[in-house]
């Protein structure tokens, strides 16, 4: 089978059976199309003709093009997934990509805001306008639940329970759902938005079950949500460019870090974040250790 046909089959599998998001599928498609172009340039017309040297050569070429280790590793994960799929479907006899080692990206700790910074950020939106009420509810929701931005903008009214035992059903990666508590501040902000702002926004559209709406009454997009946060970050002097730029994921990082700082068990935080493995969550424990070191270095008379 040609690489192009195998890639189409693999992407169909990821979409239908794995339920990957549109953005993730687009990334896989870009990475695999680049791989197919490299194979074609080498005169390879069938996926079964690929050798391990061709796969490792593609990795080397990516690095020579200036791709960072993390980006190259992501691109090669797509390539390895393609070959695994092709062997499983009996399109090729052997997985020649399994022996190619991926570059190890540098370990970068997530950047969390401190509590005072979060409070300043959440206080920016104007609570006297519909869009201001929406933005405050969105930011409180992100920080109060640890939701990914895709989960927040994907939330529907029926996913919310704000009365006796406040919680929200979040739809995460791979279509997995989880139930997450909603704290008092987030609950109050979302209620205010639902009562005082959402009806007027919904009247501009054709009817959607989405919790968070744009000015035209449609579901709020990820980009629009990012823009709202960007605006608030600028207002309080938080960085919006560079390695520590504030993004919607910053509030998720802050949520996890503050829970652990407050004594939460790492496995509880794992469940709240929707991580498949506790290993992913444990990076936040490193953040809290870094914070302890900083406090020790500045407070102890013999720390230096």
Of the residues 173, 178, 230, 291, only one is catalytic, namely: 173
pLDDT for 66: 86
Task: Answer yes or no: do 136 and 197 share one domain.
Answer: yes
How buried is residue 70: exposed, middle or buried, by Cβ count under 10 Å (0-12/13-18/19+)?
A: middle
CATH number of the structural domain spanning residue 165: 1.10.443.10
Q: Based on the structure, what is the number of domains in the chain?
A: 2
> Active site residue: 252, 253, 255, 258, which one?
252
Please report the pLDDT score of residue 19 as a whole number. Answer: 81
What pLDDT does residue 280 have?
73
Last residue of a domain, one of 40, 70, 88: 88
- pLDDT, the chain, mean: 89
* Catalytic pick among 58, 198, 258, 275: 275
From 34, 84, 111, 249, the catalytic residue: 249
> Contact at 8 Å (CB) between 193 and 136?
yes
Mean pLDDT score, 30-45:
94
231-276 per-position pLDDT tens digit:
999 999 999 887 788 988 899 999 998 998 888 888 888 989 888 7
Of 87, 85, 63, give the one whose Cα is nearest residue 74. Answer: 63
Active-site residue flag, 136: no
Sheet of 160-161, strand order: 160-161, 167-171, 177-181
What is the tens place of the pLDDT at every residue in 132-176? Answer: 999 999 999 999 999 999 999 999 999 999 988 889 989 887 778
Share of the chain above pLDDT 70, in %: 94
Any catalytic annotation for residue 8? no
Is 284 one of the catalytic residues?
yes
Catalytic residue at 249?
yes
d(CA 62, CA 114): 37
pLDDT in tens, 82-132: 999 999 999 999 999 998 988 776 666 667 899 999 999 999 999 899 999
User: Does residue 95 lie within any of the structural domains?
Assistant: no
Q: Is 35 a catalytic residue?
A: no
Which of 83, 136, 148, 198 is catalytic? The answer is 148
Give the structural domain span for 151. Answer: 115-298
Q: Please determine, for residue 10, whether its predicted confidence score (pLDDT) is greater than 90.
A: yes
30 part of a folded domain: yes
> Using an 8 Å Cβ cutoff, are 249 and 242 in contact?
no
Q: Which long-range contacts (CB under 8 A, 24 or more apart) does 52-56 make?
A: 52/96, 52/97, 52/99, 52/100, 54/96, 55/79, 55/83, 55/96, 55/97, 55/100, 56/100
| Residue 256 in domain | yes
Same domain for 140 and 256: yes
Q: Clarify whether 148 is annotated catalytic.
A: yes
């Amino acid at each position: 089978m040609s690489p192009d046909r195998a890639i189409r089959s693999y992407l169909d599998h990821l979409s239908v059976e794995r339920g990957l998001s549109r953005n993730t599928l687009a990334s896989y498609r870009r990475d695999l199309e680049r791989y197919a172009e490299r194979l074609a340039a080498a005169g390879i017309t069938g996926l079964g003709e690929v050798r391990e040297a061709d796969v490792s050569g593609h990795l080397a070429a990516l690095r020579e093009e200036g791709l960072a280790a993390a980006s190259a590793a992501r691109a090669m994960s797509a390539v390895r997934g393609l070959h695994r799929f092709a062997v499983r479907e009996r399109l090729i006899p052997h997985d020649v990509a399994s022996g190619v080692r991926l570059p190890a990206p540098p370990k970068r700790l997530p950047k969390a805001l401190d509590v005072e910074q979060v409070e300043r950020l959440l206080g920016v939106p104007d609570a006297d306008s519909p869009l201001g009420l929406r933005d405050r509810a969105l930011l409180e929701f992100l920080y109060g639940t640890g939701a990914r931005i895709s989960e927040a903008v994907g939330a529907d009214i029926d996913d919310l329970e704000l009365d006796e035992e406040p919680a929200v059903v979040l739809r995460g990666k791979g279509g997995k759902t989880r139930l997450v508590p909603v704290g008092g501040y987030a609950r109050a902000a979302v209620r205010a938005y639902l009562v005082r702002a959402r009806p007027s926004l919904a009247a501009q559209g054709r009817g959607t079950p989405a919790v968070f709406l744009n000015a035209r009454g449609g579901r709020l997009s990820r980009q629009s949500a990012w823009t709202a946060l960007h605006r608030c970050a600028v207002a309080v002097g938080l960085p919006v460019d560079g390695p520590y730029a504030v993004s919607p994921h910053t509030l998720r990082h802050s949520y996890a870090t503050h829970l652990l700082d407050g004594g939460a068990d790492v496995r509880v935080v794992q469940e709240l974040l929707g991580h498949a493995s506790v290993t992913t969550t444990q990076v936040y424990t490193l953040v809290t250790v870094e914070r302890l070191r900083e406090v020790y270095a500045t407070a102890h008379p013999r720390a230096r």
